């Protein structure tokens, strides 16, 4: 069938089953947007910033497991999108970003809004393409979606020069791809799996170390089965919250810099780490030489480059976690679960000694209470997104996540401004669910223009701003490590959040008491409009436990060591 390059882009998106595209038009991609205007195969959400468009596609992908799609124009349109690409890349999120480019004849001439999108995106995409002819466009689009979702997922860029989008040619969309240099390994090596099973049966203090790869592999039921079969305790990374389910008695909680006492001590004393889709991030390991120093390590990951990158691994297994566990579980039917009884009792004692706790107050709202309260009021029906900072850690520590894909946040890159547009993406995917963006007063300022987007498309996201009038996490480090020199972290000057929300077509709440908090949540759900819920919280509350940067996991600052702060600056 004869059609333009712009039509081919739209037809490929439809052929891939994409229902929602996020984006922002501009000169180099206008032909594609003209075709979007004519088609009805997918909806297009006009974000108010390219970065937000990519984050929205990212949130859509994390909530659904499908490939998120965003479109931007050349030059600044693309460079604004780079933070979104890097965010998705660090967390292995399947995404295709289609960018407009200046005509082929202008590439390399410093033409208006020309930028080397392929060169800039090379370190922060799984793969990228510059389309050089109309004939290769259908194949490239097919490969882009395949690469994004297969193996270790990730964002793929397709940069399309403007003249190609207007050119007419034959469109034949491939049914499959053939990329000789790209053959992901899904099935684990049988011999290595048998060795790992032998190690599990011999261990006295084994520990499941669950990472975000379990979510990406949709392997959570098998992981729960593994824990149930073996009765091995488990810890989750920030990206894996929800995999085990909050009420699972084998789950110790999150580990790492803000992990709880039992989880970090378990990792410090275990004799066998069973790592499933985790990448041994420095926020998890702390001081590498002290990390799990008494343990052998089983490392299951679909990306061979990720195995033994940071720690020595005794049992490397390259493969998809779902397929590896399907191979492994039958070999563990006869495991002696009583062998680990004493280990479980030790960890139970650690949890009783230092549970994840905080001191509540009737005088001022504690952020931990606010997180727990939305868990009580909405629970497993909600999707929780977050920005980056103290509120992110409190949410990870205190929300009762019951399932994967319920918790959406920027773990690897730590992108402030991610939460609101990601929440819009999640809400477009699941309009029947309550979507709450847990944010801070610093983070929400970075993409608050998306109020207009959410209002226009009737996307009722609740933005719960835990407002301490600080860049809270930086302030916390200044408190602990810079003798309270609060350099440029005070955000006392703020907009009228309620009025701002209303000015942009939403609703706003100022919350200072627990009663107002409950009333605001109830009203926000009933009103079914995008909102800012401005919650005044204790200014000097700290996220604890905390492992100082570069320290060993077992050297935690615990809640009872919290300093008493006045309102002094």
Inside any domain, residue 359: no
Q: What is the pTM of this model?
A: 0.97
130 and 244 both lie in a single domain: no
150 and 250 both lie in a single domain: no
Q: Which residues are catalytic?
A: 50, 112-113, 162, 473
Contact 417, 448 (CB under 8 A): no
Q: How far, CA to CA in Å, does 126 sit from each of 121, 150, 151, 498? A: 9, 11, 11, 41
Per-residue pLDDT of the chain (569 residues; tens, 9 = 90+): 899 999 999 999 999 999 999 999 999 999 999 999 999 999 999 999 999 999 999 999 999 999 999 999 999 999 999 999 999 999 999 999 999 999 999 999 999 999 999 999 999 999 999 999 999 999 999 999 999 999 999 999 999 999 999 999 999 999 999 999 999 999 999 999 999 999 999 999 999 999 999 999 999 999 999 999 999 999 999 999 999 999 999 999 999 999 999 999 999 999 999 999 999 999 999 999 999 999 999 999 999 999 999 999 999 999 999 999 999 999 999 999 999 999 999 999 999 999 999 999 999 999 999 999 999 999 788 999 999 999 999 999 999 999 999 999 999 999 999 999 999 999 999 999 999 999 999 999 999 999 999 999 999 999 999 999 999 999 999 999 999 999 999 999 999 999 999 999 999 999 999 999 999 999 999 999 999 999 999 999 999 999 999 999 999 999 864 444 444 33
39 and 99 both lie in a single domain: yes
Cβ count within 10 A of residue 171: 17
Q: Whole-angstrom Cα distance, residue 36 to residue 463? A: 30
315 and 443 both lie in a single domain: no
For residue 181, the SS3 value is: coil
Collect all residues with Cβ–Cβ distance below 8 Å to 381 and sequence separation of at least 6: 433, 434
247 and 389 both lie in a single domain: no
Q: Domain range spanning residue 118?
A: 2-170
Strands 234-236 and 68-72, sheet pairing: unpaired
CATH code for the domain in which residue 115 is found: 3.40.50.970
164 and 214 both lie in a single domain: no
400 and 502 both lie in a single domain: yes
Inside any domain, residue 551: no
Contact 438, 392 (CB under 8 A): yes
Q: How far, CA to CA in Å, does 36 sit from each of 7, 13, 32, 101, 170? A: 8, 11, 6, 18, 19
CATH code for the domain in which residue 334 is found: 3.40.50.1220
Place of tokens 């609740």: 462
Inside any domain, residue 263: yes
Total number of domains in the chain? 3
272 and 386 both lie in a single domain: no
Inside any domain, residue 552: no
Inside any domain, residue 554: no
Inside any domain, residue 508: yes
320 and 211 both lie in a single domain: yes
Inside any domain, residue 556: no
Inside any domain, residue 468: yes
242 and 154 both lie in a single domain: no
Contact 408, 62 (CB under 8 A): yes
């Amino acid at each position: 069938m004869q059609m333009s390059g712009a039509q081919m882009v739209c037809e490929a998106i439809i052929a891939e089953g994409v229902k929602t595209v996020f984006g922002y038009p501009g000169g180099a991609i206008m032909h594609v947007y003209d075709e979007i205007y004519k088609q009805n195969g997918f909806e297009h959400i006009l974000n108010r910033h390219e970065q937000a468009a990519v984050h929205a596609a990212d949130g859509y992908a994390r909530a659904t497991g499908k490939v998120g799609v965003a479109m931007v124009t050349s030059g600044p349109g693309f460079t604004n999108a780079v933070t979104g690409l890097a965010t998705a890349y660090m967390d292995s999120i399947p995404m295709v970003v289609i960018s407009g480019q200046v005509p082929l004849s202008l590439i390399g001439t410093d033409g208006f809004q020309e930028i080397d999108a392929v060169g800039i995106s090379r370190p922060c995409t799984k793969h990228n393409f510059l389309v050089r002819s109309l004939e290769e466009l259908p194949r490239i689009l097919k490969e882009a979606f395949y690469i994004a979702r297969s193996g270790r997922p990730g964002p793929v860029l397709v940069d399309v020069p403007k003249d190609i989008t207007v050119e007419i040619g034959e469109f034949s969309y491939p049914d499959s791809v053939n990329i000789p240099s790209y053959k992901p390994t899904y099935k684990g090596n049988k011999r290595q799996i048998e060795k790992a099973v032998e190690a599990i049966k011999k261990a006295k203090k084994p520990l499941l170390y669950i990472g975000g790869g379990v979510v990406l592999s949709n392997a959570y039921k098998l992981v729960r089965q593994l824990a149930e079969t073996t009765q091995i305790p488990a810890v989750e990374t920030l990206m894996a919250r929800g995999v085990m389910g909050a009420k699972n008695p084998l789950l110790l909680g999150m580990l790492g810099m803000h992990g709880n006492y039992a989880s970090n001590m378990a990792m410090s004393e275990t004799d066998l780490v069973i790592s499933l889709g985790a990448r041994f991030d420095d926020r998890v390991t702390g001081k590498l030489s002290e990390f799990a120093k008494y343990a052998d390590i089983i490392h299951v990951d679909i990306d061979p480059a990720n195995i033994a990158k940071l720690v020595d691994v005794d049992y490397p297994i390259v493969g998809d976690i779902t397929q590896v566990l399907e191979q492994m579980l039958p070999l563990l039917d006869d495991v002696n679960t009583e062998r680990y009884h004493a280990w479980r009792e030790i960890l139970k004692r650690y949890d009783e000694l230092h549970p994840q706790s905080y001191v509540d107050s009737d005088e001022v709202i504690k952020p931990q209470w606010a997180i727990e309260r939305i868990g009580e009021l909405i629970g497993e029906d909600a999707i929780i997104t977050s920005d980056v900072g103290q509120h992110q850690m409190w949410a990870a520590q205190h929300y009762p996540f019951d399932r994967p894909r319920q918790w959406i946040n920027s773990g690897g890159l730590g992108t402030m401004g991610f939460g609101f547009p990601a929440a819009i993406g999640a809400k477009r995917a699941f309009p029947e669910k309550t979507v709450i963006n847990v944010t801070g007063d610093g983070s929400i300022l970075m993409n608050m223009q998306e109020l207009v987007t959410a209002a226009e498309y009737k996307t009722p996201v609740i933005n719960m701003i835990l407002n301490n009038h600080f860049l809270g996490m930086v302030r916390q480090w200044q408190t602990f490590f810079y003798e309270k020199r609060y350099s440029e972290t005070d955000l006392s000057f703020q907009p009228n959040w309620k009025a701002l929300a209303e000015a942009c077509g939403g609703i706003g709440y100022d919350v200072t008491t627990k009663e107002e908090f409950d009333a605001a949540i109830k009203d926000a759900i009933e009103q079914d409009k995008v909102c800012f819920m401005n919650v005044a919280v204790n200014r000097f509350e700290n996220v604890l436990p905390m492992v100082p940067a570069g320290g060993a996991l077992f050297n935690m600052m615990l809640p009872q060591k919290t300093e008493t702060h006045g309102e002094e600056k």
